[in-house]
Amino acid sequence: MLRSNEKNTVVFRPQYTLKIVSAVGNILEMMCRSEKNSAQFLDDELIFIANIETPLDSYLRIIFKHNFTSCFTFAHALFLVDKLINKYKMNIDKRKMHKLIVTVLLICTKYNEDHAISSKALALISGIDNFELNIMENLIFKKLKYKIFIKEDRLIKYIKYCENYQEADI
């Protein structure tokens, strides 16, 4: 989990963040619906190029491996996906969820991290076309009305939920 060093700052162990990453992937997988029941939220504005079949937790682990991001960023991304799904009453399939989480992770990384990965690099890692990723980033920002802030107590609740998440909860 977390540990403190002598300067009283918080240091994260990679295996703790990896646990959060896996939990976020499993939670997102649980939120997905079948493609035939999927909402038109993203289809109306984009043509999806990539067809990604990798399970979400494995997919997020690959992204984490190449883009060492804090557990806060992954929890923040989960919060924004949850906010989008609830606000627009979306039923989103796994294919769209992959693209949505990559886009939201890009936004959250730019917001939370001192050294953010470029959209071009994330596009290469994720298998999504860079042009499409940039369009989706703008679209998601507009859908969120540029409100991506998360209060600290809510962020901690999302992290605690991920910490306590078990496969048996599905």
Exposed, middle or buried by CB within 10 Å (0-12, 13-18, 19+), for 163?
Answer: middle
Sorting pLDDT into bands at 50, 70 and 90, what band is 16? confident
**Which fold would CATH assign to domain 7-164?**
Cyclin A; domain 1 (1.10.472)
pLDDT at 44 over 60: no
**CA-CA distance, 123 to 105, in Å (whole number)?**
12
Cα torsion for 165, 85, 76, 68, to the nearest 10°? 80
Highest mean pLDDT among 19-28, 96-105, 138-147: 138-147
Q: For residue 108, which of 160, 149, 158 has the smallest C-alpha distance?
A: 149
Name the average pLDDT for the chain: 78
Domain ranges (residues) in the chain: 7-164
pTM for this prediction: 0.77
